[in-house]
Amino acid sequence: MSDPLVNAHLAYMRQALELARQSPPKPYNFRVGAVLVDVATDTVLSSGYTLELPGNTHAEQCCFMKLSEKHGVSEEDLFQLPEEKLPLQLALYTTMEPCSFRMSGNLPCVQRVLRLAASSPSSAARSVTVYSGVTEPDTFVSKNTGRLTLEAAGIQFVHVSGLEDEILAVATAGHEAKEGQADK
């Protein structure tokens, strides 16, 4: 008998993976998808994928930017939304561990997640759990500390297993194969 909770996590991760497939293959980034879910109602609040919006945008960034636009606030102020607009229990499904450093100088996705999880002065504490399909490979930034940073801030980080090979194949489409590595 399969665990319905595991199936739900895999379903959201598959949804994020389908979003990642929409990202254009480039040699200098990973194709990532992200889905933000209201835990209490099991409702998708927003989603995004790498380069969905103008600029050098990451999946989590696009997800949060679209949510902020929907509610007419800046992304920086999302955390201040009242509970009826931004629930207190959120789940972020992302095909790859959120970045801890951006070579472009943009705000790292880990900092965006921390900002979203911040408590508004007018609301109770917000809980964000991050579900990730794979850790970030060392291709562009060595030793991403996304998971460690989130956990140190009290944000639960959960690896959703079962789609790693597919996620990495999608994420690295457009990258040049290294010498001795077979083309996929």
pLDDT the model gives residue 179:
47
Is 178 domain-assigned? no
Is 40 domain-assigned? yes
Mark whether 166 is an active-site residue: no
pLDDT the model gives residue 42:
95
Low-confidence ranges of the chain (pLDDT < 70): 1-6, 119-124, 137-142, 177-184
Domain count, the chain: 1
Q: Please check whether residue 81 is in contact with residue 120, taking contact to mean a CB–CB distance below 8 angstroms.
A: yes
Catalytic residue among 52, 60, 75, 136: 60
Range of the domain at 98: 4-171
pLDDT the model gives residue 120:
61
Is 13 domain-assigned? yes
> What Rg do the C-alpha atoms of the chain give, in angstroms?
16
Burial class (CB in 10 A: 0-12, 13-18, 19+), 183: exposed
End-to-end CA distance of the chain: 35
Is 176 domain-assigned? no
pLDDT the model gives residue 178:
56
Is 157 domain-assigned? yes
Is 183 domain-assigned? no
Is 142 domain-assigned? yes
pLDDT the model gives residue 1:
44
Is 181 domain-assigned? no
